[in-house]
Structure 1
Amino acid sequence: MKMKTKILVSACLLGENCKYSGGNNKNDEVIALSEEYDLVPICPECFAGLPIPRVPSEIKDGRVYSKNGEDLTDKFLDGAQQALYIAKECNAPCAVLKENSPSCGFGKIYDGSFSGKKIDGNGIAAQLLFDNEIQIFGESQIRCLKNLY
């Protein structure tokens, strides 16, 4: 039997209650990728020791701030490093990450004003994974993954 390629997936997309609000972003299409791939759940914010639930965070001027003004950049960087370690350990060529997140967003993130406005940019973990040659897909792009690896 052929070994399935391992891919990283934001744990909230798999139904894990690790979202800042204490809930999840369960996505059945993402879960269905398990037919073709070995899904490795990650949550850089949990890896960083941030609580569930937690105050929402956004990126402004390259730093991550909680809505109450706390600078969480170092925690987000630590969580991103742990995600990268897992990616390297399991030889994952790609990751399916939660869109718009300050950790996992890729291409678009919230603008740091906590107003719901999005700007071009990448979350902390998504950027680190991308910089280390791991291909990033948001949950709306998973059709691109069919038979890719």
Structure 2
Amino acid sequence: MQNKILVSACLMGQAVRYDGRAKPLLHPVIETWRAEGRLVTICPEMSAGMQVPRPPAEILGGATGEEVLAGKARVVELTDADVTEEFLQAAENAVALARQAGCRYALLIDGSPSCGSDFIYDGTFSGHKQAGKGVTAAALKADGVEVFSDREIERLIDRIAQ
């Protein structure tokens, strides 16, 4: 059985990002994995009922997804609407899908308060980045899924080959 990969829907060309756009990851291995049936696509936020487009959201106070999962931080939209519950539901949905589909790996868009795995924004809506994971990436990692950012596809290819 081949290793399955949970992948951000926006990386697969679906216009599901907060701004109504996609951010397709163009790499020959994506088509190979798709043909092999390895890819399991999700937009965590849409799985939790969030709309497209939607206001940008960030984790407040320079916190990370782990802190949101622990109940110590909140996710808020630029409009000040608290969307913490939606992001927690999104993470729960992604973990459930990964388990159901047998995904050992996740390939997620970096920077997102949900999918960011190397960096997220600092909660000031000023464009400043910080090291850290989004809520879904943190939940997947805590569940034993190896999480890779879109900029780490070569590392994921090497990991799967091992």
Q: TM-score, normalised by structure 2?
A: 0.85
Match of 1:137 in 2: 148
Q: Does 1:16 align with 2:14?
A: yes
Q: Deviations over 1:13-54 (max 9, x none)?
A: 00001000111101112x733414611111110011011000
Q: Once the 2 structures are TM-superposed, how far is the Cα of residue 147 of structure 1 from its aligned partner?
A: 4.9
**Identity rate of aligned residues, in percent?**
38
Q: How many residues are treated as equivalent by the alignment? A: 146
User: 1:33 corresponds to which residue?
Assistant: 30
Q: Provide the residue aligned with 2:157 in structure 1.
A: 146
In structure 1, distance between residues paired with 2:21 and 2:131: 26
Q: Aligned partners of 1:43 and 1:131: how far apart in 2?
A: 19
Q: What letter matches 2:83 in structure 1?
A: L
**What one-letter code is carried by the residue in structure 1 that aligns with 2:3?**
T
Matching residue within 88, 97, 106 for 2:99: 88
Alignment map for 1:1-149 (pairs within 5 Å): 3-29=1-27, 32-36=29-33, 38-61=38-61, 62-149=73-160
Is the partner of 1:18 in helix, strand or coil?
coil
**Which residues of structure 2 form unaligned runs of 5+?**
62-72
The one-character-per-residue Cα deviations of 1:49-74 (angstroms, maximum 9, x if unpaired) are 01100001000142100001011000
Whichever structure has more helix as a proportion of its residues is 2
- TM-score by length of structure 1 reads 0.92
Return the offset for 1:148: 2.9
Measure how far apart 1:146 and its partner are: 1.8
Which ranges in structure 1 are unaligned for 5 or more consecutive residues?
none
Q: Distance in 2 between matches of 1:137 and 1:147?
A: 12
Cα distance in 2 between the residues matched to 1:51 and 1:84: 20
**Which has the larger share of strand?**
1
- CA displacement at 1:5 relative to structure 2: 2.1
Amino acid at match of 1:10: S
Change (3 A) 1:90 1:59: same
* CA-based RMSD: 1.4
Runs of 4+ in 1 over 4 A off after TM superposition: none
